[in-house]
Amino acid sequence: MDRFVSQFVLRLDAKGRVSVPAPFRAVLVQDKSEGIFCCPAVGRPAIEAGGSALLAEIEQLIASYPPFSEERETIATALYGT
């Protein structure tokens, strides 16, 4: 699995969208990712993004906490939203 680690400063378009840089899209295609997963960066005014492998890692992290625990709910809400 390839990874893309970089920083891009992009503007939102008129519809509130941001484009995914071509090198990132190439990695997603190479990894046969089903799409792109985005979540707020912790402690920074940014968005973190990745493909199916990142989503699987996040799901595994959340599953490591006891069901219905406050910690699990906090992490799930931070990464998945409401």
pLDDT per residue of the chain (82 residues) written in tens, 0 to 9: 566 677 778 888 999 898 888 888 888 898 888 888 888 887 888 888 888 888 888 899 999 999 999 999 999 998 887 5
Query: Would you say 31 and 51 are in contact if contact means Cβ atoms under 8 Å apart?
Result: yes
75 part of a folded domain: yes
35 part of a folded domain: yes
Instruction: Please report how the helices 70-80 and 52-63 are oriented relative to each other, as an axis angle in degrees rounded to 10.
Output: 160
Range of the domain at 71: 22-80
33 part of a folded domain: yes
Output the pLDDT for position 4: 66
What is the DSSP secondary-structure string of 10-78?
Answer: ----TTS--PPPHHHHHHHHHTT-SS-EEEEPTTSSSEEEE-HHHHHHHHHHHHTSPTT-HHHHHHHHH
pTM over 0.75: no
Q: How many structural domains are present in the chain?
A: 1
